[in-house]
Structure 1
Amino acid sequence: MKKSHDTDNAKAKANTDVRSETEALQKVLVTTSAADANGSCGSYDPEIEQLRTALEVAEIRYQEQQTRMTIETGGLYETLESVRAECARELCELRLELKNKNDALMEAMAGAAADPHRPDAMQQPELEAKLMRSITDAAELKACLMDKENALQSLAEENEALKAGAGRAEAELRRKYEAAVAELELAKAAEQDVRMRLGLVTDEADRSSLRVQSDQWRKAAEAAAAALGGGGGKDGNGGTVERTGSLGPEYGSSIGGKLMSSPFSDDVDEESPKRRNGGGGGGGGVLRRMSGLWKKSPK
């Protein structure tokens, strides 16, 4: 009985330790969820790692606790079976002794009744005293037998209580373990969402950079077109040819494409009457300025 109580106390202490570790794990989970709600992306990964570590430790402790409980329960079962076998053996011995005494008593009484003139019949008081002693011994044996049966019943009830307690503790540990796993999955999903959002922000920054670069290219192309049209020229009849107006994005894009893909002289020969009439010096300067602007634009 004392050994079973010590085992029960050890199990209660182990369950308390596992419960404390599970509560600590839940506190880590709550801290991680609060950090995610506040948008603290910088400390998110360390908290996830801490959560994973705590979960692994809790799982290891859970497995150790299960193994220890299995071993202790097996030892308790062996002890219970040993006590039960001992009680059954003593019970059989007591019943056999009681039966022998009853048989001896009945034999003596039968002999006395069959031959009243036997010397044994003259010892009636002594026989009565033996009978009383036998009755007393039988009563004591019955009382001892009842005590053994009560002890056996108590052991069986205690065994059932220990089984029920172990089942409840195992169910509680399993529930807390599954809750911790679910919290970890939620934390992983939140981490994935944060990473996806960071990727979207990075893509948006890249697109903004591309827009700025495109605007710079367009401005360079407009400046080049303005330089080409602002100098003016004369047509074949001596008139002045003027180019006014701003260039749209499509026209600037075509200018930029011509600058990137074809020689400058051919495009300018097709567009500038002044160059066809001998005004090549100004056009060459414009092209040099356009080339300089293009080289200065960010890559």
Structure 2
Amino acid sequence: MQTQKARLHSCGPEYLFLFLFNQILSQIFSNLLSNKKTKSIVISSWFTICHSFVFCVRNGSPDVPKKVSPRAARPLKIAALEPESSSSPISATNRTPKDKSPKVLNRRSPRSPVSEKKRPSRITELELLVSQLQEELKKAKDQISVSETSKKQAEQEAEESRKQLQEVSSKLEESQNQFVETSALEEETDKTGSLVFQSVSQECDWEFSATAGERAGLAAVAHEIRQLKLQIEMVASSEAGHVKQAELYNSEVQLLRGNLMDTLFHVENFRNQLKDCEISEAETEALATETLRQLENAKKAVEELKSDGTKAVESYKKMAVELEQSKSRMVWLEALVNKLQNNPADLENHEILLKDYESLRRGESNEMDEEVSSLRCEVERLRAALEASDKKDQEGNVEASSRLRIQAELQSELKIAKSEIDELKARLMDKETELQFISEERDNFSMKLMKNQKEIDIEAELKKLREAIENLKADLMDKETELQIVSDENETLKSDIHKSETDVQDAFLKLGIAMEEADKSSKKAVRVTEQLEATQASNSEMETELRKLKVQSNQWRKAAEAATAMLSAGNNGKFAENYNQTNSPYSEDIDDELTKKKNGNVLKKIGVLWKKPQK
């Protein structure tokens, strides 16, 4: 590579430009040669370009010496025909010793100022070559377009040839019908016989004219058949182009099918993802509904617990107040009992005090009234107890024990209430944790909703992909329909070609048959003319004989009339009778003989005429 670069640097900018130009042309023509349609056009244009390029390089400018140009043109010609050899270092090393001769180096090494001045002219020549190459490329493109138009014209000519084939087939059918009619007419002439010889002569004349016209028509048909053969060859040549187009369409359809399979695979993946997303959405919705229901239940339970807690606190406060009141009452009652036990005379004073106490407690609430009434009952009970103090000391002890038991029960109930309050507090803590968990789930649910929005966007993209797939399917269907149309046209063209070949063969066979039938009809016409001439001759002979007989009969009549006139005067009728007796049978015999002869001759002639056509 370094030696090659050194050589390129040693050469002038002209050769560098030529080297780059050669590589660009090789790439362009390699791309064009990849297409089968433009291959022949590109090859022809390539040879013309190479020829013009070598010619220009050999001639060069008029001021440059001629010894340098052929040496510089040879490697360029090889590079134009083989562009890859110029870039390889092996070809640079494996050159002939002529290229390595000192003469060439001596010629290349010195650079005259004249050659340096003439370099722009060489560049202009190369630019002209580039413009020529561009024009030739345009011409090649024009030739490609012309070839496409010629293909279209060939298709139109094929359609016209089909129409002409149909017309020729219709003409052949008409000629067949005419031959059938002529054969029917010939059969009718054979049946009618000798009684219609004049009409037969007219029909024979018409047949002669018809056969002449048919021969001219058959010649025209043969000419048309030759033209159809040429058109069929053109159609067969155009079929090859159609087959190539069909192959190209098949390759395009296969590519589209591969693309469709890929898109369908992606669509199936998207569908599976959508199904998974829908399932996850349903699960999240179910979880959300459950969590909302649990939240509502938790809120209700919290509210109930709060109400229960408040009620429990209120009841606890009431119980504490009642306990304090009951304790104070117990203390007061114990003091009263002690006083009464010590001073039974103070009962009356105590009643007075109770009345005063009642008067003081009237302004209090209903609960205090109830307590006062209960105290009154207790006082009355205590009175009864005091009356029988000895008997009911034990009962007082029992009541004290019962009161102590009630106090113990109240204390146990307070403990139970405290434990329930602690449990309610624990439940409240649990519900708060559940609320935190539910809030976290709510956040997760919001995140899932965001994901669902993304999935909705994915669904929109999927819809777009489906629409694109449907468009691709529609394009595929159009391509398949076009392929089917092209294949059907090819099959119809093939069938039309086969039909046209068979029709041509049938036409030739029918022409041969028609020619044979025309020859037969001409022979029959000659026979009929001969028969007509014979009948005319026999008729002329019969006419001469009839004339002779008429003359003789007239003479015999005149003689008979004269004899009757002479004899009628002498014999008064006897001679006339004898004459009539002798004359009438003779005349009758003569008439009978004449009629027999006429009938015999006529019958003989008719028999001869009937026998001739049967032969």
Q: When the two structures are superposed, what TM-score results if normalisation uses the length of structure 2?
A: 0.24
Greater share of residues in helix: 2
- Give the TM-score of the pair, scaled to structure 1: 0.44
